[in-house]
Structure formats: C-alpha cells, structure tokens
A and B are shown apart, each in its own frame.
Chain A
Amino acid sequence: MTQNIERHKYDIVVIGAGGAGLRAAVEAREAGLSVAIVCKSLFGKAHTVMAEGGAAASMGNVNDNDNWMVHFRDTMRGGKFLNHYRMAELHAKEAPDRIWELETWGALFDRTKEGKISQRNFGGHEYPRLAHVGDRTGLELIRTMQQRIVALQQKDQRDTGDAEKNIKVFAEVTITEILKENGKIAGAYGYRRSNGEEILFEAPAVIIATGGVGKTFKITSNSWEGTGDGHALALKAGANLVDMEFLQFHPTGMVWPLSVKGLLVTESVRGEGGILTNTAGERFMFKYIPDVFKDKYADNEAEADRWYVDQDNNRRPPELLPRDEVARAINSEVKAGRGTEHGGVFLDVSKRLSAEIIKKRLPSMWHQFYELAGVDITKEPMEVGPTCHYVMGGVEVEPDSAAAVGVDGLFAAGEVAGGMHGSNRLGGNSLTDLLVFGRRAGMGAANYVKTHGANPVSDATIEKAAARIAAPFTRTGGENAYALHQELQEVTHNLVGIIRTGPELSEAIEKIAELRKRSANISVSGDRVFNPGFHLAFDLDNMLLVAESTAKSALLRQESRGGHTRDDFPGMNSTWRQVNHISSFDGEQVNIKAQPLPVLPKELFDLFDVHELEKYMTPQEIAKGGSN
C-alpha cells in the first residue's frame, strides 16, 4: 500500500506558513536548498494576519535613545527574567535588520515625518518601538513574505522553467506525524484536507512553525488552527517542551456579542491613549502597579496623561503595564463586582482622540466593533476582558540555530518554540520573534542538511503513520470529536485558566487523562473528502497533549509569575526563577522535570541596575554577578 501514496522529496519541510515558517522557507531556499511549505489553511491565511499592533525593533526612528540593550532589558523584565537570555539577546540585536529587510521585499510600513519607518508605543517597551501598518501589521508581514516566495518562484520559472522546482507550498495539508529513521529526522506524514488522501514528505530536516495552542481553551483570540500541532508533534518525535505553564491571557478581548467572545482588541488602543475603567467609573489600573514597576509607571492621572506629550519627564500610564499585570487587574475588578453585565470592563479611546484619528490609526478596530457589536468606538467605550492569546512555552531549542534539543534534524521557530519570552511576552515581540528565529531556523536547517544528507523513510514507518490516519473510520458509534473538544475547553477554562490552584490543577490532570482515554475511541461520520469531524480528531489529540503538559507544569510551579498565577502561591519566588520545566513524552504520558535556567552572562547581567535584579534574583546570584 505504501506504493500508492503521494510522495515528495525535499531537503527541508517547513510545517506552518505563518510568519516564522515563511521566513524560514525563504532563508533555506536562499541557501540553495529545496523546501516544501506545508500548511493547514490556504497560503496567506495563517494566524499571523491577526497580529495588529506591530513588530518591536529598536530602530530608534522615533526616540533615538533606543537600542538593542534597552530592548533586551524590556524583554527580560516583561518575561520576569525567566527568558532564555541568549534568545532575548539575539532577538533584540537582529530585529531592526529583519524589519528593514522586509522593506527591500516591498513592505510598506507607516512613516515618520522624516520618511523613516514609524514606531509606536506598546506595553512594557520603554520607547516607541513597534513598526506598524495601521493596525494590520501581521497582514503586511504575511503578504510581504508570501510575495517574496512568489518572487523566488518566478525566478526559478525564468531560470529553470519550473516555478515550483525549489520551493512549493502544500496548502490545506495536515501533518500527523514527524518521521524518524535511525534516531534522526527523515520526513513528515499527513493527509490532504481536501480529499483525505495521504501524503509523504521525505526530508532530512523538518522545521516546526505551527504557532500556538489557543484552541485548547474556551475563550481565545486564536483561530481554529491554533491546536498545538507542532508542540505535540515535537513531543512525540522525542523533543522537549519548556515552560508550558506560561500562557498569555491578553487583557483585552471582546466579551460581547457571544460569537466574538475572545476576539482580540489590539493593545494599540491603549498605546494610542485608551484608558480602562470599571462600572464605578474608576480608572482602576493605578491600584495594580506592582512594586517592581513602581518607578516606571505613573501613580496618578495627571502624570499619566502628561506622558502622551512628554515621555522624557513623566512615567508611563499603568494601562501600558505588561499584559499579565493588566489581565489580572481586569480579572480582579470583574470578580469584585465592578465589571460590566457581559463580564468585562470598559476600554475607552473616544475621549482622548478625535474620530478622524481613531479611524486612521485603529481602522480595523473601528471596523470590528462597528460591524460585529454595533459599537462606534469613536463615540463610546468598548467592553473588554481577558482572552487566551499566546503560549510562551514551547519546543526547547538551541537559540542560535533553532535546533530542537535532543532530536537531530528537527528545528522550531515562532510561537511553537519556547524560551524567548520567559513567563510573559511583550506585545510586538512576537512579530520580530518570527522573523529573527524563522530566519535562524532556516539557516540552522540548511547547515544541518548540508552536513548530513538524505535519510530515507522505511515502509514500516509509513505503514504505522498510515494506520493511525485510517483508525477513526474503522470505528462506529464511538466518541464525538466536537463534544470531547468542548469538554476539554471546559476543563482548561475552569481549572487551568488565568488563576490556578493546586487542587484544581490535580483535578484537571485527572480529567485530561480521562478525556485522552475516551479520545482513543473517536469515530468519524462521512468520508475523507473535506471532512471537518475527521480533521478535528487529529487536532484534538494534539490539544490533549498540550493541555496535559500545561496542567502538569503548572501544578509543579509553586509561585506566581507572568502567565502563571497560583492563588495558593501568590507572588514571585527567586528560587523558582532558576527553574525551567521540561516536558517530555514517554508514549503514554507527559513527564515534567525541573532543569536549571541558563545563567545570565556577566556582560548581560551588567546591563541592569543591580537593585532591579535584586527584585528577581537570589542574593547568591546577585553576589555572583552573572557567569563568565
């Protein structure tokens, strides 16, 4: 039977066609290798298009005090110093070049008066740093790289007569398994969503760039694609996940109407001057400035308002605190009974900006609220609440090459990779993360292939992968994938959500295990032709592994930090900061082990005021002053 399967041979297979996947593909192709890009949606539809605010890069176009060191410090602070320092360092150093490079491929960012790329303020960034195009920056990134790939294909067409000779997009294909032979990567296996027919890619290197896990949760800003496929594929291929307890609940998702609950309201609304109030009319964020941020954020309205015109002599408004702080504050206000009838708070930009400026700077937000909620944001406030937005945890990688730790030939970049953002990601750091590490993954994989060569896939491996795809059709009267997915979302929402406790996490772990047992008995109605029930069966399997990894890591971490808040262990603990949680999969279940966090080298340690570091580090670490 393995003879009839659609087969392809490439040097590199990239799974995922969002920002990281496309950037990786461009890099690998330019290094002279052949690349297949595989994605679940049509080309150009990836979740990256949803990124609104911008791409953080210290170009210093608006404030020339900015540089990579300031950006690095902001990123580490935002992540509460749990970041892999080397990733944060590479990201801060390389982000400007990655943005400028997009311009050479035709991207059109908004401009400053001098004609440079404009940069806007965002939560946690000391200076205006986000390159943007109105509030559709992600779309600009995707389109630019999509068109860059077309440009490379046109060149191949001219040079060889075959546009798809060296780079080809396989749209609407789901990968169900990463294949290994002799302990090394050999390819990937999956099916075409349009007709269910199976497809084999033989390639010595695979780059995972599958994005996030939001669909594991009930209220999320993520599209259907965010089902943790890459996280689960990596685990099953023998790679590790790092720090899966850290999930970012974006503070401002829409809370009404029901159909768009969770849909993102860009942080740019706050960056442009939007304020948060409760039903008592109180601008409540002043109450929630944590000690570690007291010297950077205004504690009164007058100073906060002055900051918009004079940033050198005033502290920032507390609405621009890192996302985890704002999300928790909104959660507390609603819990205290000061929320709206739909369970949110008010976000208002209408009092500060004119209707004309709002429509110009926040066009898609105006559109989104007007069309979907009947709310005119130039006249009235929005209702917002936290929504599951981003997973900081992900595949454990070597920072410089994006190589997955422990599996030769496997690479990961973008949201699916862990470490870069620590316990909490700053807004705007994701788009440049995609570019910086997408490129590095492309380079890393290219270098690997050049030194390793082909690794053919055996028939036995193919048969095993094929059997798994056929299985749900062989059962009748089994579990319904839609119903199981809903049950999983209830468990994660209620027990592994924004505020967690030990007993609830233990309960979640049991329930997830039960759901996984039941999911082995999923049956699918209909045939293989574009059958969403069949597709969900595989997505669900991935989400269950992700949820297990998150719940188990969360139970072990007895502190609150960034995107992990324990009601029974409030507050950060310097000892816990020295620990990463590593998930691995033994074929039966996810196991977690504690691993020491890489120590900040002296030259990076010295970029900080030691008094600031004292808030995060143990006295022993401070005394040591970084590694040498």
Chain B
Amino acid sequence: MARTLKLRIWRGNDKDGALQDVSVEANSGEVVLDIIHRVQATQMGDLAVRWNCKAGKCGSCSMEINGKPRLACMTQISAYPEDEVITITPLRAFPVIKDLVTDVSFNYKKAMEVRAYEHPVDLKPGDARMEQVDVERSQEFRKCIECFLCQDTCHVIRDHEENKKSFAGPRFFIRIAELDMHPLDTLRNRKQTAQQEHGLGMCNITKCCTEVCPEHIRITDNAIIPMKERVVDVKYDPLRWLGSVIRKRDGIL
C-alpha cells in the first residue's frame, strides 16, 4: 500500500525562494495535505501551510498543485502516476508570506466594498415567506467556501497586479449576484454597480473560475453572464429596469 512520493515544494518568503525536492512515504487513500503534514512532522518542522477543516468545507488549504489551483485536502495522491514528481507551489495571484501561505487580504478588502444585504424595513423577524425555488438561485452562490481559487486563476488579476484595484473578481461577482437574486434584498442597482464599481466588464467569460471551483458553483453561467446580459438590457431599456424592480417587490409578498 505504501509508496514513496517525490515532491517538489516551494519554500521561501516574500523576497525569494526556490523549489525543494523531498521524498516522503504515502499511503493509499491519502490526499496531498496529508503528505504535506507528514513532511512537516518528519522533515521540515517549520514548513508553512494554511489549513483547517481538512474536509473541503473551509477553503483554507488552497495552493497550486502541478500548476493547477486546488484544495490540498481534496486532492487524492492516487490521481498522480507513481513516478510523477508532484510540484506544490503557493497561490500565484497573491503575495507570499512564507512557503505555501499567501497574503489573501485582497479578498477581504473586496468583500468590504460590496454593499451589504438590506432587509425590508417593514418586514419583521419570522414574517418572511419565500419559495424554495427562489432561494435556491442565491443558495448556489452561498455555497462558496471562500477558498479564493477562482480569484487565483482569473487571468484578469493573476498576472496583472494593476487590475486589482478596479476588479473584484469572480468570488465577489457571485456575492453581488447572490444579493441581486436574493428575494428580500431591497438595495437597487446591484448589477449596475457590479459593472461600474467592481469591474464586471473586464471579465471576458473564459470560465476558468468555474473550472477550479471545488463547490462546482457555475460562476460564469449562473452569475456573471446573467448580470452582464441584464446590465446591457437595463442600459438600453428603462421599461425592463422598471419591470425587474416590480418583480423583485412581488417576491416579498
């Protein structure tokens, strides 16, 4: 059952670093995070890795495995051939703190820029009535575990630091879409702000974000494209805008 796994792990800090080769025992059924922990416990006591639930639910152990943004806890080693060297590097879109740990504070800044949910002022706690089918649209986006793999892979910011200021990224487009489709949210013009303030227009729908999402959220198809389409509609047709407002109010009743 046991095999010897060859890894190439990036070690370093915000100034410099390099790939280091290491061999380590691995058992069948283990995931990359198990292997990293074994390296930590036996060979590199100070190897930095961020992790938490080890069950694909918290989105902490995001890294790049053979160049692909992945959760280390959900990546089976059996997916790699026996003789393959597995290369493990930190997320490329964010500054390195140490080894596999990056500074993801960019995402928390962007979270702060999305206007929060606004509850109808006259709707008392317990009085909300919503259809399951109506909450499901937003629920898909609320599955997001904030692993930021979509942010890491998005080519608008992956190699373009200069775009970070004006581009919120896929994680926050689904947050805006979630609020936009929320049956009760009363804040208007979320799509328009997505376009004007959060850089929705910079996305050219290559769907890379959807591909890496461990929760299989259809980021491009269900959030970004519908918002892009409706932004265009609203831009050219005020009646449609009015209609969308009325439909939304109906949802409250």
Contacts and interface: CB of A to CB of B under 8 A. Distances in A.
A3 to B, nearest CB: 26
A263 B27 contact: no
Contact of A263 (B55, B60, B76): B55
Interface in A161-211: 163, 194-195
A527 B98 CA distance: 11
A87 to B, nearest CB: 23
A140 interface: yes
A115 B34 contact: no
Contacts of A115: 128-131
How many of chain A's residues touch chain B, expressed as a range? 35 or more
A259 B31 contact: yes
A45 B112 contact: no
A108 interface: yes
Given A115-B131, A258-B29, A372 B116 contact: no
A153 B56 contact: no
A140 B58 contact: no
A257 B132 contact: no
B146 A532 contact: no
Interface of B is mostly: loop
Interface in B84-114: 97-99, 101, 103-104, 108, 111-112
A133 B52 contact: no
A608 interface: no
B185 A106 contact: yes
A259 B52 contact: no
A367 interface: yes
B71 to A, nearest CB: 10
Interface string B29-67: 111001000001100011111111111111110000000
Contact of A150 (B46, B60, B116, B123): B116
Nearest to A41: B52
Contacts of B51: 224
B100 to A, nearest CB: 9
Contacts of A49: 53, 57-58, 145
Contacts of A527: 46
Contact of B48 (A256, A263, A531): A531
B31 A372 contact: yes
A492 to B, nearest CB: 18
B30 A139 contact: no
B80 interface: no
A480 B56 CA distance: 29
B213 to A, nearest CB: 12
Nearest to B144: A143
B188 interface: no
A151 interface: yes
A116 B231 CA distance: 32
Given A104-B119, A258-B29, A263-B55, A41 B60 contact: yes
A96 interface: yes
A373 B29 CA distance: 7
Nearest to B27: A258
B182 interface: yes
Contacts of B76: 371-372
Contacts of B138: 108
Contact of B108 (A43, A104, A223): A43
B234 interface: no
A265 B107 CA distance: 31
B60 A260 contact: no
Nearest to A529: B98
Given A49-B53, A49-B145, A154-B115, A532 B58 contact: no
A293 interface: no
Interface in A101-155: 101, 103-106, 108-111, 114-116, 118, 133-134, 136, 139-140, 143, 147-148, 150-151, 153-154
B222 interface: no
A285 B96 CA distance: 52
B116 A223 contact: no
A258 B116 contact: no
A50 interface: yes
Contacts of B31: 259, 372
B235 interface: no
A477 interface: no
B139 A116 contact: no
A160 interface: no
Contacts of B40: 482, 532-533
Contact of B57 (A116, A136, A153): A136
A42 B60 contact: yes
A574 interface: no
Contacts of A455: none
Interface string B116-151: 110100010110111110010011001101100000
Contacts of A533: 40, 45-46
Nearest to B34: A259
Contact of A482 (B45, B55, B126): B45
Interface string A470-509: 0000000000101000000000000000000000000000
A588 B138 CA distance: 53
A439 interface: no
Contact of B117 (A43, A147, A224): A147
Contact of B142 (A42, A43, A133): A133
Contacts of B132: 110-111, 118
Nearest to A371: B74
Contact of A532 (B49, B111, B112): B49
A526 B145 contact: no
Given A96-B126, A257-B28, A530-B97, A44 B54 contact: no
A97 interface: yes
Interface in B174-224: 179, 182, 184-185
Q: Specify which of A47, A256, A371, A532 lies most central, judged by the most chain B CB atoms within 10 Å of its CB.
A: A532
B13 interface: yes
A534 B46 CA distance: 8
A532 B125 contact: no
B135 A529 contact: no
Q: Specify which of A195, A258, A524, A534 lies most central, judged by the most chain B CB atoms within 10 Å of its CB.
A: A258
A106 B57 contact: no
Given A111-B130, A114-B129, A531 B53 contact: no
Contacts of A101: 125
B52 A147 contact: no
Given A139-B57, A259-B29, A530-B99, 19 more contacts: A50-B57, A97-B126, A100-B126, A101-B125, A106-B182, A108-B130, A108-B142, A139-B142, A140-B142, A147-B116, A194-B101, A224-B51, A257-B30, A368-B55, A482-B45, A529-B97, A532-B40, A532-B48, A533-B40
Interface of B: 13, 27-31, 34, 40-41, 45-60, 74, 76, 97-99, 101, 103-104, 108, 111-112, 115-117, 119, 123, 125-126, 128-132, 135, 138-139, 142-143, 145-146, 179, 182, 184-185
**Top 5 A-B pairs, shortest CB-CB distance:** A257-B29, A526-B46, A106-B117, A115-B129, A151-B116
26 contacts: A44-B146, A47-B53, A49-B58, A50-B55, A59-B126, A100-B125, A101-B125, A103-B126, A106-B184, A106-B185, A108-B135, A110-B132, A111-B130, A111-B131, A136-B143, A194-B101, A223-B53, A223-B54, A223-B58, A258-B27, A371-B56, A372-B31, A482-B40, A524-B46, A525-B45, A532-B40
